Amino acid sequence: MGSEQLLDVLMLGLRVCDGLLIKDLVEQFGSQRIIQLIDALKDPTVTPRLVSLLDGQDEPVPLEEADIATIYRVRLTDPEGFLLSNEVLSSLFTRLMESPWNSADNL
């Protein structure tokens, strides 16, 4: 699946309370793309204020420890992340569209 599909999944999935499971994203889009997503999510201006990176016990994962193996779920914070979801998604879209995997070969 290409970058447009990933962005669609993010746009829909982050707007539900449960957020998105990293394992499901890896199954759909591959580990390399989700590593890029996690790198984009590690922006300290966004996470942890607007986005929660959670382990399997729904405990926050510190940014310095956040990677594909430590994060189980990604979701918007309540209420601030939900209220500013357009800004979060815009920031993610920009960072992901600039990432190396977003080339004509991956669309």
- List own/partner pairs for 97-104 with CB under 8 A and 24 or more apart: 97/3, 99/36, 99/39, 99/40, 100/36, 101/3, 101/32, 101/33, 101/36, 102/3
- Exposed, middle or buried by CB within 10 Å (0-12, 13-18, 19+), for 106? middle
SS3 40: helix
Residue 20 has pLDDT above 70, yes or no: yes
Contact 75, 19 (CB under 8 A): yes
pLDDT tens-digit map of 42-101: 888 888 899 999 999 999 999 999 999 999 999 999 999 999 999 999 988 888 888 765
Lookup result for tokens 């979701």 = 75
93 CB-near residues (< 8 Å, 6+ apart): 7, 10
Q: What is the pLDDT of residue 23?
A: 97
